[in-house]
Amino acid sequence: MLGTLTEVFSEQIKKVIKISKAPTVINEDNVYQEGDSNVLDVLDGMVNSLLLPGSSLDGLKNLEELLEKAESGKACLLLVEHYSNLDLSILSLLARLAGGRGKAISDSLMAIAGMKLNEHNHVVAAFTGAYTKIIIYPSRSIQELDPEKEKDEILRANAINRAAMKSLIRHKYKGKLVLIFPSGTRYRPWDPDSKKGVREIDSYIRSFDYMCFVTINGEILHVQKTDMMNDVVSKDVIRVTAGPVTDCNAFRDKIHASAADGADKKQAVADAIMNELEKMHTAAEEERKKLLK
């Protein structure tokens, strides 16, 4: 371990805070945010300094096939495992380093992100400004609101999510690869539920045409129980694996058809997604361990 994010990258943090244009308050008018190449350059340098030899993207051809479908006007998803706030950064950088159409893949990424990243920490907000994204008010956060005491916040949440869905509809047919973390949060080892898929992911699957599952093996930023900026940095071999292009409707219909009578079919889809990611992760970890010997 090299230290906390704040300790290891203090100079980069100061620089990004200076140049960032990311809003720290979200409303229905700024849910869509274009990526900032100046911030991206700094983040790339940070991530690259932590990647050990052997780090790579596997399954580039699958992502190239998905991008072709997106460029032809299809709505395309990336369903990605979520271990740290550098997951998107890792995928973006390793795609560009992979050759082929890797840069085009990286440029096409559009993440669905929870508003916590913008509003709870101005440093995190500054760094997330590197990537194009649509901000949502997560369902888990809405469920925690008191219907009687926090009516105004509920109205705000609904306004943000309506605007986010409108923005998604406008952009998802424009050659974008829409990136979603189906767990809705980073995996925290002390909280097994943090690796459970959110049932709302079923609605995304229903409204998209094609998708790829993406796993991340290895870890350069370790989540802690305190503030995000206290997450611990280390060097590691990182392997990102993109699975084959999958028809969204066929996948969803298969899960719905196999669900038991009376079962929550939306949750069944979310569970199936997480199961597929876990299988891919386990297989990729076996290959990664060979590089560590």
Please determine, for residue 103, whether its predicted confidence score (pLDDT) is greater than 80: yes
CATH number, domain at 261? Answer: 3.40.1130.10
- Note the pLDDT tens digit of each residue in 33-66: 999 999 999 999 999 999 999 999 999 999 999 9
Out of 87-91, 168-172, 256-260, which region has the weakest mean confidence (pLDDT)? 256-260
pLDDT at 5: 93
Mean predicted lDDT score pLDDT of the chain: 94
The average pLDDT across 127-154 equals 92
pLDDT at 121: 80
| CA–centroid distance for 171 within its chain | 17
pLDDT at 10: 95
Amino acid at 274: M
Please determine, for residue 88, whether its predicted confidence score (pLDDT) is greater than 90: yes
The model's confidence at residue 123, banded by pLDDT at 50, 70 and 90, is: confident
Count, residues in the chain: 293
pLDDT at 151: 92
Domain extent, residue 156, equals 3-292
- Note the pLDDT tens digit of each residue in 202-253: 999 999 999 999 999 999 999 998 888 899 999 999 999 999 999 999 999 9
Using a pLDDT cut of 90, give the percent of the chain over it. 82
CA nearest to 230, candidates 25, 1, 49? 1
- Note the pLDDT tens digit of each residue in 13-29: 999 999 999 888 999 99
Q: Which helix (H) or strand (E) holds 217?
A: strand 210-217
Tell whether the torsion through CA atoms of 64, 68, 74 and 75 is positive or negative: positive
The average pLDDT across 131-158 equals 92
pLDDT at 24: 87
The answer to whether 75 touches 178, Cβ cutoff 8 Å, is yes
Q: Which residues of 191-206 are buried (b: 16+ CB within 10 A; e: fewer)?
A: eeeebbbbbbbbebbe
The C-alpha atoms of residue 185 and residue 196 are separated, in whole angstroms, by 9
DSSP H helices, the chain, are 5-8, 10-19, 37-48, 60-71, 87-97, 102-108, 116-119, 122-128, 139-143, 151-171, 201-206, 248-258, 265-292
The answer to whether 99 touches 234, Cβ cutoff 8 Å, is no
Please determine, for residue 293, whether its predicted confidence score (pLDDT) is greater than 80: no
Neighbours of 65 (CB within 10 A): 18
pLDDT at 129: 92
Phi, psi for 236 (deg, rounded to 5) = -165, 165
- State how many domains the chain has: 1
The C-alpha atoms of residue 200 and residue 220 are separated, in whole angstroms, by 29
The C-alpha atoms of residue 11 and residue 24 are separated, in whole angstroms, by 21
Using a pLDDT cut of 70, give the percent of the chain over it. 100
